[in-house]
C-alpha cells in the first residue's frame, strides 16, 4: 500500500513538472517571437510549433493567444498562495510571504533575459500592458486574501481558485479585506519588482537571492534609513 501511495505521488509530481515545463516553453516561444517580429505577427500555430506541441495543447493552458503574454504568472501565483498558507505557523506574515515568493523566484538568474524581453513586448503593446496590469492587480488581491486567511482574518468570499471575477465581485472582495493584508501583499509584490530591477543592472555585484532577501530585510526593519553610502550597503 505504501508503495502504491509513493508511486501515485511520484507520478503526480512528474505530471506537474511536465505541465510547468510545457507552459514555460509556450511562454518563452511566444515572448521571443513577439520580441523579434511584433505581437501582431505571432500566431497560436507558430507558438505551438516553436514549443513542440499542438495548438490544441496550447488551449489547454491559455484561453487565447493574448493570454500567453498576460496570464504568465497565474499558476505561479497560486503556488505562492499555497506556500504562504502552508508555511510554519511560527513565521511572521512577512517571513512566510518572503519564503513563498523565494521558492517561485529560484530560477530568476537563469531567466532574466526572458523577463527583459517580456517587459519590452508589453511596453510595445498598450492593450497587453493594460491587461497585464489588471492581471497583476487580481493576483495581488488573491495574495492579500491568503495573507488575511493566514492571520485569521479570512473572508468567506475568498477562494484560492478564483483567478477571475467580475469588477463587482472584486470590489466586494476588497471591501471584505482589512488594511494589513492589502498593504502586506502590495509591499511584497513591490519588493519583488524592485529587487528584480535592482539586480538586473548589478548582476556582477550580487546574486539575485541576496538582493531579494535584502529587500525583505529592509521591510522587516521598517525601512529604516540605510548606512551612509560607501559603508557596504548596496
**Domain 73-220 grouped into CATH 1.10.357.10:** yes
Q: Among 46-55, 179-188, 200-209, name the one with the lowest average pLDDT.
A: 200-209
Nearest to 123 by CA among 38, 22, 51: 38
Kindly list the distances between the CA atom of residue 160 and the CA atoms of 6, 63, 76, 87, 111, in Å, as whole numbers in the listed order. Answer: 26, 20, 13, 16, 27
* Per-residue pLDDT, 169: 79
pLDDT of residue 3: 47
Q: What is the per-residue pLDDT across 54-86, written as a single tens digit (0 to 9) for each?
A: 999 999 999 999 999 987 666 778 889 999 999
Of 1-10, 87-96, 144-153, 186-195, the least confident: 1-10
Domain ranges for the chain, please list them: 1-65, 73-220
pLDDT for 111 equals 76
Residue 96 pLDDT greater than 70, yes or no: yes
Taking residues 146-167, report their average pLDDT: 74
Of the pLDDT bands very low, low, confident and very high (cuts 50, 70, 90), residue 9 is very low
- Chain-centroid distance, C-alpha 13: 20
Q: How far apart are CA 2 and CA 177, in angstroms?
A: 43
Taking the CA atoms of residue 102, residue 48, residue 9 and residue 88 in that order, the dihedral angle to the nearest 10 degrees is 20
Query: Alpha helix (H) ranges present in the chain?
Result: 2-37, 44-51, 55-61, 67-70, 74-86, 93-104, 108-123, 126-150, 167-175, 179-200, 208-220
Half-sphere exposure of 24 (CA within 13 A, CB side): 11
Read off the pLDDT band of 173 (50, 70, 90): confident
Q: What is the mean pLDDT of residues 30-51?
A: 95
> To 5 degrees, how large is the angle CA 227–CA 109–CA 196?
45
- Whole-structure pTM value: 0.76
pLDDT band at 170 (very low <50, low <70, confident <90, very high): confident
For domain 1-65, is the CATH number 1.10.10.60?
yes
Band (pLDDT 50/70/90 cuts) for residue 164 is low
**Per-residue confidence at 155, pLDDT binned at 50, 70, 90?**
confident
Residue 6's pLDDT is 46
Q: Which residue has the higher pLDDT, 224 or 155?
A: 224
Average pLDDT over residues 110-133: 87
Q: What is the average pLDDT across 190-195?
A: 91
Amino acid at each position: 500500500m505504501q508503495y502504491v501511495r509513493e508511486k501515485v505521488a511520484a507520478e503526480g509530481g512528474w505530471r506537474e513538472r511536465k505541465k510547468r515545463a510545457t507552459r514555460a516553453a509556450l511562454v518563452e516561444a511566444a515572448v521571443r517571437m513577439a520580441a523579434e517580429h511584433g505581437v501582431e505577427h505571432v500566431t497560436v500555430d507558430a507558438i505551438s510549433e516553436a514549443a513542440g506541441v499542438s495548438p490544441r495543447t496550447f488551449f489547454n493552458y491559455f484561453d487565447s493567444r493574448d493570454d500567453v503574454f498576460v496570464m504568465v504568472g497565474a499558476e505561479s501565483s497560486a503556488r505562492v498562495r499555497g506556500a504562504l498558507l502552508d508555511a510554519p505557523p511560527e513565521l511572521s506574515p512577512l517571513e512566510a510571504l518572503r519564503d513563498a515568493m523565494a521558492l517561485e523566484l529560484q530560477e530568476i538568474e537563469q531567466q532574466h533575459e526572458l523577463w527583459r524581453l517580456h517587459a519590452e513586448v508589453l511596453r510595445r503593446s498598450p492593450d497587453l500592458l493594460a491587461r497585464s496590469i489588471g492581471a497583476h492587480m487580481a493576483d495581488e488581491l488573491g495574495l492579500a486574501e491568503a495573507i488575511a486567511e493566514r492571520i485569521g482574518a479570512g473572508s468567506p468570499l475568498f477562494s484560492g481558485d478564483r483567478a477571475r471575477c467580475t469588477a463587482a465581485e472584486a470590489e466586494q472582495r476588497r471591501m471584505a479585506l482589512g488594511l494589513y493584508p492589502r498593504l502586506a501583499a502590495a509591499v511584497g509584490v513591490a519588493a519583488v519588482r524592485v529587487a528584480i530591477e535592482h539586480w538586473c543592472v548589478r548582476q556582477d555585484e550580487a546574486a539575485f537571492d541576496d538582493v531579494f532577501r535584502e529587500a525583505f530585510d529592509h521591510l522587516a526593519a521598517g525601512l529604516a534609513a540605510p548606512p551612509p553610502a560607501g559603508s557596504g550597503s548596496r
